[in-house]
Amino acid sequence: MNYLKVPLWLLPSPVAVAKALWRTRALLWTNTLTTVWETTTGFILSVALALVAGLAMVLSPLLKRLFYPLLIISQTVPLIAVAPLLILWLGYGLLPKIVTVILVCFFPVTISLIEGLEVSDPDLLNLLKSMGATRWQILYTVRWPNALPSLFAGLKIAATYSVMGAVIGEWLGASSGLGVYLTLSSHSFLTAQVFAAIFAITVLSLVYFVLIAGIRHLALPWLNTKDN
Amino acid sequence: MTLLLRDLSLTYRDYGSAGVNVLENINLEVPTSSFVSIIGPSGCGKSSLCNLIAGVEEPDRGEILLDGRSILGLAGQVGYMPQKDLLLPWRTLLDNVSLGCDIRRENKRESREKARLWLDRFGLGSFAGHYPQQLSGGMRQRGALLRTFLFGRTTLILDEPFGALDALTRRDMQEWLLDVWSQSDPTVVFITHDIEEAILLSDEIVVFSQRPARILARIALPFSRPRNPDLLLSPEALAVKKQLLGLLRGRP
């Protein structure tokens, strides 16, 4: 196997990674559960926040002028620079990790929601107005369903990023989680375990992605029909 | 319902200070249950007129009366159908046809029952559960027309509803429209740039001038109903066609 004489601690073979996965499965599982908890909570909270912020900014141009630039700027601040501050302010518990997840997820969901709400066909809005529809009726009969495909695109991005957010949060100080497992393994030169953690993170991200794709399939049935 | 337009004038001012005169002193009476077509060069302000009657825009001067009651700036009084079918992709045909009833907050079950009845009557019953993207252009247009019809009932403003269809489908749709119309006699204002379509469908044709639109001529059509597309070949129809072509070219 090891023709190039790469030492095992530098680049372990897939077999070694699989063995590490199996050997530390109990540990990996409890750490994964912590990360799942942080990610899911953070994700749901960021979606809720994004819905409120997105709707508010679409309904009020003033709010949009005030907060849209802030939203963009907030994304240019590197997460890795903010995370230690969060640990400093919020301690080593779950809260700072949930906040990092929100920082990662909030942006794509909000932006995709705003974009989606603002692209309705003007002729369609005109038709609804001619029927005497109120602002709210136009919002929930046209603009909201029209925004859903875009919103789900944002949710998919957020879902795959969310695990990364939690792991970065855990890196900087936590007692449990995939980020902790990753740091501990890396500091002990247990490279096979590092890859095992990467594997777990990837699988977890994929699970979230598939979950969102499944919800989209159920929630947007008109996009599943074959054109005639 | 009798639709009365009195001294309607409209100017768009957002193109700089001068403004663009779109409509100038339009006076028109559309009697109850009659079918009146408006024909004119493209860009002459026909669609603006529709927006005014539909209550989406307001004129600078003039009145719009429906059975003597002013509907100026009031939306929801007439059924308005634009050229695009504008069916909502996330609603099934049945739900699309009932859109107006939902906007009016009518009982959902009753409005669906009524819509299903109309879909059945006009051969769309088996497509009630289909989404618009699963339907052909002609079927979508029929759906849009039924939506307008179920919303407006007594007064319909149709803005080039068949403009985007191919000639065969369009002929089909014209006969279909006559069929729908004969079953409940709404008052119809029909915008078109197709002379034959206007002759085949209307009781009266109103010819608009270039912008700013004025009424150039009003031509009553004496043909009996129900109508058959063959009437387009009659000498009377050809005479009307010739007259219309002359008017539209600017030679009365």
Tell me the ipTM for this assembly: 0.87
Asked if A26 has any chain B CB less than 8 Å from its own CB, the reply is no
User: Given this model, what pLDDT does residue A6 score?
Assistant: 75
Query: Average of pLDDT values for A148-152?
Result: 95
In chain A, what residues touch B136 (CB-CB under 8 Å)?
228
pLDDT-wise least confident of A11-15, A27-31, B53-57, B116-120: A11-15
Q: Do A225 and B75 touch (CB under 8 A)?
A: no
- Chain A interface, best mutation among B88, B130, B150, by max A CB count within 10 A: B88
Asked if the model's pLDDT at residue A3 lies above 80, the reply is no
Reported as a single tens digit per residue, the pLDDT across B145-186 is: 999 989 877 899 999 988 888 888 888 888 888 888 888 889
Three-class secondary structure assignment of A154-194 = HHHHHHHHHHHHHHHHHHCCCCCCHHHHHHHHHHCCCHHHH
User: Given this model, what pLDDT does residue A196 score?
Assistant: 92
Q: Kindly identify which residue of chain B lies nearest to residue A223, measuring between CA atoms.
A: B90
User: Given this model, what pLDDT does residue A227 score?
Assistant: 53
Average pLDDT, chain B: 88
Asked if A142 has any chain B CB less than 8 Å from its own CB, the reply is yes
Q: Kindly identify which residue of chain B lies nearest to residue A222, measuring between CA atoms.
A: B90
Residues listed for chain B: 252
Reported as a single tens digit per residue, the pLDDT across A57-111 is: 999 999 999 999 998 888 888 888 888 888 889 888 889 999 999 999 999 999 9
Asked if A128 has any chain B CB less than 8 Å from its own CB, the reply is yes
Neighbour count for residue B230 (Cβ, 10 Å): 9
User: How many beta-carbon pairs below 8 A join chains A and B?
Assistant: 65
Query: Average of pLDDT values for A6-33?
Result: 87
Reported as a single tens digit per residue, the pLDDT across A189-212 is: 889 999 999 999 999 999 999 999
CATH superfamily of A14-227: MetI-like (1.10.3720.10)
The answer to whether B207 and B191 have CB atoms below 8 angstroms apart is no
Q: Do A228 and B136 touch (CB under 8 A)?
A: yes
User: Given this model, what pLDDT does residue A228 score?
Assistant: 43
Q: Do A145 and B90 touch (CB under 8 A)?
A: yes
- pLDDT band for B228, please (50, 70, 90 cuts): confident
Q: Which candidate, A218, A105, A82, A221, places its Cα nearest to that of A156?
A: A105
Reported as a single tens digit per residue, the pLDDT across B185-199 is: 899 999 998 899 999
Asked if the model's pLDDT at residue A116 lies above 90, the reply is yes
Asked if B17 has any chain A CB less than 8 Å from its own CB, the reply is no
Q: Do B88 and A124 touch (CB under 8 A)?
A: yes
B35-39 vs B187-192, strand pairing mode: parallel
